[in-house]
Amino acid sequence: MAISVIDKIKKFWPFGQVKMTAIGVDQFLPSQDARAFTAKVIARPSATSRDLLIKVLASAINPVDIKMRESYKNNGEFRVFGFDAVGEVISKGSQVTDFQVGDKVFYAGAQMRQGSNAEYQLVDERLVALAPQTLRDEEIAAMPLTSITASEILGDAMGYQIDSNSAQGHTIFIVNGAGGVGSTLIQLAKYMGMVVITTASRPESVAWVKSLGADYILDYHQDLQVQLTKIGHDQVDNIAILQNTNAYWSLVLQTIKPFGHIVSIVETTAPIDMAPLKNRGVQFSWVFMFAKANYGIAMETQGQALSKISQLLEEGKIKSTLTKTYHGLTAENIRQATQDVESGRMIGKVVVRHNEEI
């Protein structure tokens, strides 16, 4: 849906006040409804303090966008989603130290601020890194949210350094390897020298996780414990749960080694039994990548994580997980990309390029 003539006029009025187009919602409608998203012309924000004002070149849709839209309070506030972007620094706040106007950067940003499905966006410089120079915009925009999450799973929660062969021979079992986080996590774990076991079922998912380097691909429609035993890994050092924590919990209890690390990014829907893990000294961690920005804690670690990812992408040590691109920042494209993610059948990432004429 293109923006209306009235909105186009508003964009240049009143003169002097800079406007921009943003795609968002001011009421919750299911994504099947053509009006699920709206293009609006709103005031372009100004950068102060440690903020960068970014001209967004491309943004990605993630499951968190779906979740946030579903819990949108119909309070009339125009809410812009999109928490994954590449863009160019247009201006900066007075306390910015690490970036210059004209820098091309990538970032996931902060959940409580307006997102990247807009021409321009503010983001705290601590959450940002220089974008890899060798990739196309849509390839870059696919990466920040999932690679920060994967870095926090492997680093903050499992305690590894993310370096070449830093976890040589250690095993990781990734529940749902083909999604956004899984696709990046497989690659980082392989880069670190790990044995990577993951789940996938559809032939295209199996082919995808194989192309990312997974050593063993198990079918989650069959008994997973039996398959793990068959490949000689009935016990693993690390488990990353990227889908339905409760459904996989009994497998986790059987499978995790003494002093192993269990990490989940998917909220439990019922209490879980921790007792069988006690005598194995096991650790369970939640990773939620927005927590650092939400609470203002260790935000600079996300910029640092992205710098490492940028380097690995440039060196070809990992590759972009982009699988689908829409062209143009329109309400319709955001709606289509949202439906792709909602289907639950998405492999890799879907991105909307902004720099097409809309």
Min dist CB 293 to its own copies, Å, is 11
Q: Which stretch binds its own copies (CB under 8 A): 17-25, 66-74, 198-206, 257-265?
A: 257-265
Angle between helix axes 180-191 and 203-211 (nearest 10 degrees) is: 30
Q: Which stretch binds its own copies (CB under 8 A): 56-64, 125-133, 168-176, 260-268?
A: 260-268
Query: Which DSSP category does 4 fall into?
Result: P
Q: Give the residue with the Cβ less far from its own copies, 283 or 311.
A: 283
Residue at 351: amino acid letter: V
262: Cβ contacts below 8 Å, ≥ 6 apart: 238, 239, 241, 252, 256, 277, 282, 283, 284, 285
Q: Can you tell me the distance from the alpha carbon of 93 to that of 141, in angstroms, rounded to the nearest whole number?
A: 23
Q: Which of 26, 258, 315, 345 binds its own copies (CB under 8 A)?
A: 258
Does residue 272 bind its own copies (CB under 8 A)? yes
What is the closest distance, in whole angstroms, from the C-beta atom of residue 168 to its own copies in the complex? 17
Span near its own copies by CB under 8 A; candidates 88-96, 163-171, 268-276, 319-327:
268-276
In the bound state with its own copies, the residue whose beta carbon lies nearer, of 80 and 287, is 287
Query: CA dihedral in degrees (343, 348, 350, 355; nearest 10)?
Result: 180
Work out whether 235 is an interface residue with its own copies (CB under 8 A). no
Give least dist CB 149 to its own copies, A: 11
Q: Which is nearer to its own copies, 245 or 325 (CB)?
A: 245
User: How far is Cα 338 from Cα 66, in angstroms, rounded to an integer?
Assistant: 7
Q: Restricting to residues 122-161, which ones interact with its own copies according to CB under 8 A?
A: 152, 156-157
Q: Which position among 274, 300, 315, 345 is part of the footprint of its own copies (CB under 8 A)? A: 274
Nearer Cβ to its own copies, position 216 or 290?
Answer: 290
Q: Return left, alpha or beta for 176; rule: phi > 0 is left, psi -120 to 50 is alpha, else beta.
A: left
- Closest contact distance (angstroms) between CB of 235 and its own copies is 11
We find the least distance from the C-beta atom of residue 292 to its own copies, in angstroms, to be 8
Window 276 to 315, contacts with its own copies (CB under 8 A): 277-288, 290-292, 294-295, 297-298
- Between 303 and 348, name the residue whose CB sits nearer to its own copies: 303
Shortest Å, Cβ 244 to its own copies: 13
Q: How far apart are CA 79 and CA 56, in angstroms?
A: 17
Judged by CB under 8 A, the residue of 4, 219, 259, 356 near its own copies is: 259
User: What residues contact residue 61 under an 8 Å CB cut-off, 6+ apart?
Assistant: 81, 82, 84, 334, 337, 338, 340, 341, 350, 351, 352
- Number of alpha carbons in the 13 Å side-chain half-sphere of residue 79: 22
DSSP secondary structure code for residue 2 in this structure:
P
Q: Which residues contact 165 (CB under 8 A, 6 or more apart)?
A: 192, 193
Q: Are 238 and 173 in contact (CB under 8 A)?
A: yes
> Which span sits near its own copies by CB under 8 A: 49-57, 208-216, 261-269, 330-338?
261-269
Interface residue with its own copies, options 232, 270, 316, 343 (CB under 8 A): 270
Count CA atoms closer than 13 A to 67's CA, side-chain side: 8
Is residue 260 helix, strand or coil? strand
Which residues bind to its own copies, rule: CB under 8 A? Answer: 152, 156-157, 258-259, 264, 267-275, 277-288, 290-292, 294-295, 297-298
